[in-house]
Amino acid sequence: MKKGTIAMRTIRLLAPSRLEMRETDERPAITDSTVRVDIKACGICGSDLALYNGRRDLSGEHYFGHEFSGVITEVGNGANGLKKGMRVASELVKGCGRCWFCRNGMQNYCKSLNDALLPGGFTEQTLVTNTDAYSFLSPIPDELDDITASILEPANCAYHVAMKANIQPGDSVLVIGLGAIGLVAAMILKTMGAGTVIGADRSKLRLEQVRKTGLLDVIDTSEPAWMEQVKEMTAKDGVDIVIEATGAPPVLKDAMAAARTGGKIVVPSVYFGGIDGFEPLPIMRKELTIIGSKGPAPQLKTDGTSAVVEKVVQMKDDLRKLISVYEYKDALQAFADARSGAAIKAVIQFS
């Protein structure tokens, strides 16, 4: 560690439910395999909340605060063309390219991720691993502001969901669970040619928030007749594609009921626990395809640039509607609002 001159504001999670806001002049020293990023904005992810709630083990976790935008201020060996002064945002861009997962289109499981250093973006400066075998930063264009750019990482996860859906033009889509991933996946699928796209949630607050954005037709799954509504909206056949993004295991049964015969269910949910009385028969009866979608994955165009950055630029005005911005001094409120659902995507701004 070396001493800097100006104090750096940080938010650390010391233990479940124990956030510490602290100014420090201790900065980790840059190495060959890292770049230093001055953080402009960092969003709060559901996985950050899982760490906060103690649902995930904090020890060995490297991803508290992984949804950030910023400016590169120092580079190690300069891999991946990253340069001082570049505006960047976080997303998984590159795995080693050699392991079984990378060779089979599953870079999100690449072994090089295990060694990656990602101390997190809830601090004014952070080091991010940047090597020939790993990259977690994409350059962003001027037309994307720092706040909107911070949604790149969850947009990458949502893009991964949309790709897993392998949508055909006009396919109907039901997204159950309108957190950021579900919502952004719905928005991306619309741009990819989906027909009817329906959002579903049981939280009145969330339904009202989404209605206000005007981005999506929504139905209330706390209403007993909601499944009938879905069938009405899709000519009684059921939906072609269900995105099950609630994280509540029993909802998988609803997803199977809502899907048409021959339908697909994509599951980005992080489930805890099981399903009482689960009856799997519809998997055979309806020839359902159930597809998992785990976290982010490199989504590069043939020219090597990020397809997700391009998509975020295309959708920037709509994505901005999902974001609530908090100054650093209000960081604890940001976490409270992320937990209560008062914010769809809470983003902490360092300015």
**Residues at the contact surface with Zn ion, assessed by CB under 5 A:** 45, 95-96, 99, 102, 110
Nearer to Zn ion, 95 or 238 (CB): 95
CB of 111 to Zn ion, least distance (A): 6
Distance CA 35, CA 87 (A): 12
Exposure class string for 276-304: b at 16+ Cβ within 10 A, else e:
eeeeeebeeebebebeebebbbbbeeeee
> 105 to each of 59, 149, 160, 243, 294, how far by Cα in Å?
29, 26, 12, 21, 13
CB of 327 to Zn ion, least distance (A): 22
CB of 325 to Zn ion, least distance (A): 18
Distance CA 345, CA 347 (A): 6
Distance CA 21, CA 34 (A): 25
Q: Which residues contact 323 (CB under 8 A, 6 or more apart)?
A: 43, 147, 148, 150, 151, 344, 345, 346, 347
Nearer to Zn ion, 163 or 270 (CB): 270
Nearer to Zn ion, 92 or 110 (CB): 110
CB of 169 to Zn ion, least distance (A): 30
Nearer to Zn ion, 131 or 221 (CB): 131
Nearer to Zn ion, 111 or 231 (CB): 111
CB of 101 to Zn ion, least distance (A): 5
CB of 29 to Zn ion, least distance (A): 27
CB of 132 to Zn ion, least distance (A): 11
Nearer to Zn ion, 122 or 226 (CB): 122
Nearer to Zn ion, 19 or 227 (CB): 19
